[in-house]
Structure 1
Amino acid sequence: IKEIYIYKTQDPKSKWDFLTDKEYVGFATLPNQVHRKTVKKGFTFTLMVAGESLIFSDVAPVRVSAERINQTVDIVKHTISIEEKGIKLRLSIIDTPGFGDHCSPPLLDPDMTPYYIDQQFEQYFRDESGLNRRNIQDNRVHCCLYFISPFGHGLRPLDVECMRALHEKVNIVPILAKADSLTEAEVCRKKMKDIRQFGINIYQFPECDSDEDEDFQRQDQLLKDSIPFAVIGSNVQMESKGRKFRGRVYPWGVVEVENPAHSDFLLLRNMLVRTHMQDLKDVTRETHYENYRAQCIQNMTRMVVQERKHFPLPLAVVDAEKERLIFEKDEELRRMQEVLERIQEQMQRGGC
Structure 2
Amino acid sequence: MEESEEKERGIMGEEQDDGGKNLGHEKMQTFESEENCMEGCTEEEGKEKGMETGKDAELEAEVKAELRPSDSDSQTSFIRGSDLFGYVGIEDVLDQMRRKTMKAGFEFNIMVVGQSGLGKSTLVNTLFKSKVSRKSCSSNYEEKITKTVKLHSISHVIEEKGVKMKLTVIDTPGFGDQINNENCWEPIVKYVNEQYERYLREELNINRKRRIPDSRVHCCIYFLPATGHRLRPLDVEFMKRLGKVVSIVPVIAKADTLTVDERQEFKERIKQDLAANGIHIYPQREYDEDTEERVLNDRIRQETLPFAVVGTDKEHQVNGNKVLGRKTKWGIIEVENLAHCEFANLRDLLIRSHLQDLKDVAHDIHYEAYRVRRLNESNMNFSELVLSTWPLENGTDTCGTESLL
Q: TM-score range, shorter-chain basis? A: 0.5 to 0.7
Output the TM-score relative to the length of structure 2: 0.59
Runs in 1 of length 4+ with deviation above 6 angstroms?
none
Q: Do 2:313 and 2:324's aligned partners in 1 also have CA atoms closer than 8 Å? A: yes
The partner residue of 2:202 within 117, 127, 147 is: 127
Aligned to 2:143: none
> Could you tell me which of 81, 106, 109 is aligned with 1:43?
106
1:285 aligns with 2:363: yes
Unaligned runs of 5+ residues in structure 1 are 1-20, 60-68, 308-352
TM-score normalised over the length of structure 1: 0.68
What is the match of residue 158 of structure 2?
82
The 5 A counterparts of 1:178-327 are: 178-191=254-267, 192-204=271-283, 207=288, 209-210=290-291, 221-222=299-300, 224-301=302-379
Residues in 2 aligned to 1:105 and 1:76: alpha-carbon distance in whole angstroms: 19
Match of 1:317 in 2: none
Moved more, 134-143 or 247-256: 247-256
Aligned partner (choices 174, 180, 190) of residue 98 of structure 1: 174
8 Å contact kept, 1:177–1:232: yes
Query: What percent identity do the matched residue pairs reach?
Result: 42
Aligned match for 1:117, one of 169, 192, 208:
192
Amino acid at match of 1:34: M
The unaligned stretches of length 5 or more in structure 2 are 1-83, 123-137, 139-146, 389-405
> Residues 23, 301 of structure 1: CA spacing in aligned structure 2 closer, same or farther, 3 A cutoff?
same
> Is 1:33 aligned to residue 96 of structure 2?
yes
State how far apart, in whole Å, the 1-side matches of 2:254 and 2:312 are. Answer: 10
Q: Is contact 2:118–2:225 with CA below 8 Å preserved after alignment?
A: no
Distance apart, 1:255 and its partner CA: 1.5
Partner secondary structure for residue 337 of structure 2: coil
Distance 1:82 1:242, change over 3 A: same
Residue 326 of structure 1 corresponds to none
Alignment match, 2:225: 149
Q: Kindly provide the CA deviation profile for residues 201-245 of structure 1, in whole angstroms up to 9, marking residues without a partner as x.
A: 111266585578xxx967972565100000012344322333222
Q: Matched residues in 2 for 1:158 and 1:35: separation?
A: 43
SS of alignment partner, residue 154 of structure 2: strand
- What is the letter of the counterpart of residue 255 of structure 2? A
For 2:197, give the aligned amino acid.
Answer: E
Structure 1 residue 125: Cα displacement: 0.3
- Residues 243-266 of structure 1, C-alpha deviation per residue, up to 9 Å, x if partnerless? 222322333332122211111011
Q: Which moved more, 1:42-51 or 1:245-254?
A: 245-254
Which one-letter code corresponds to 1:202 in the other structure? I
Pick closer, same or farther for the CA change 1:133–1:95 going to 2, 3 Å.
same
| 8 Å CA contact 1:53, 1:147 repeated in 2 | no
Greater Cα offset, 137-146 or 149-158: 149-158
The amino acid across from 2:333 in the alignment is V
Cα pair distance change 1:154/1:272, threshold 3 Å: same
Deviation of residue 200 (structure 1)? 0.9
Matched residue pairs, number?
268
| Residue identity in the other structure for 1:280 | L
Q: What is the one-letter code of the residue matched to 2:101? A: T
Match of 1:343 in 2: none
Secondary structure of the equivalent of 1:75?
strand
Deviation string 1:309-350 (CA, Å, 9 cap, x unpaired) is xxxxxxxxxxxxxxxxxxxxxxxxxxxxxxxxxxxxxxxxxx
How far does the alpha carbon of each residue in 1:127-176 deviate from its partner, in whole angstroms, 9 at most, with x for none?
A: 00112231310010000000001115211111111111100111000000
Q: Which residue of 2 aligns with 1:330?
A: none
- The one-letter code matched in structure 2 to 1:290 is E
